[in-house]
Amino acid sequence: MKRLVAVAAVVGCSSSPITEFPLPTANAAPYGIATGGDGAVWFTEQIGNIGRITREGVVTEYAVPTAGALPYHLAADQAGDLWFTEKAGNQIGHVDSASGAITELPLPNPDSEPTGITAAADGGMWFVEDEGNRVGHVASDGTITEIPIPTDDSDPYGIVVGPDGNVWIAETNANAIATMTPAGAFTALAVPTAASDVHNIATGPDGNLWFTEFTGGNAIGRVTLAGAFDELAIPTPGGQPFDITAGPDGNLWFTEKLGNNIGRITPDAVFEEFAIPSKDALPARITVGPDGALWFTEFQTDSIGRLPIDP
**What's the whole-number mean pLDDT along residues 65-89?**
97
Domain around 286: 2-307
Contacts (Cβ under 8 Å, ≥6 apart) of 16: 274, 275, 276, 277
User: Are 95 and 82 spatial neighbours (Cβ–Cβ below 8 Å)?
Assistant: yes
Q: Are the C-beta atoms of residues 104 and 88 closer than 8 Å to each other?
A: no
Strand 261-265 to 294-298 pairing: unpaired
3-state secondary structure of 257: coil
> Could you tell me the CATH number of the domain that includes residue 117?
2.130.10.10
The pTM is what? 0.94
pLDDT of 117 > 60? The answer is yes
Q: Residue 226: which residues within 8 A CB-CB, separation 6 or more? A: none
Region 92-107 average pLDDT = 97
Which amino acids are annotated catalytic?
199
Q: What is the pLDDT of residue 255?
A: 98
How many domains is the chain built from?
1
Cβ-based neighbours of 1, under 8 Å, separated by 6 or more? 62, 63
How high is the pLDDT of residue 102? 98
C-alpha 302/C-alpha 110 separation (Å) is 30
- DSSP notation for 1-18: -EEEEE-----S-TT-S-
Average pLDDT over the chain, rounded to an integer: 94
Q: Over 70: is that where the pLDDT of 50 sits?
A: yes
Mean pLDDT for the stretch of residues 183-203? 97
From CA 99, how far away is CA 115, in angstroms rounded?
A: 25
Q: What is the pLDDT of residue 310?
A: 80
Which residue type occupies 90? N
Q: What SS3 state is found at 22?
A: strand
Percent of the chain with pLDDT over 90: 94
Looking at residue 15, its pLDDT comes to 53
- Say whether pLDDT at 103 is over 80: yes
- Looking at residue 122, what is its pLDDT? 95
Q: For residue range 250-299, what is the model confidence (pLDDT) as tens digits?
A: 999 999 999 999 999 999 999 999 999 999 999 999 999 999 999 999 99
Q: Is the pLDDT of residue 1 over 90?
A: no
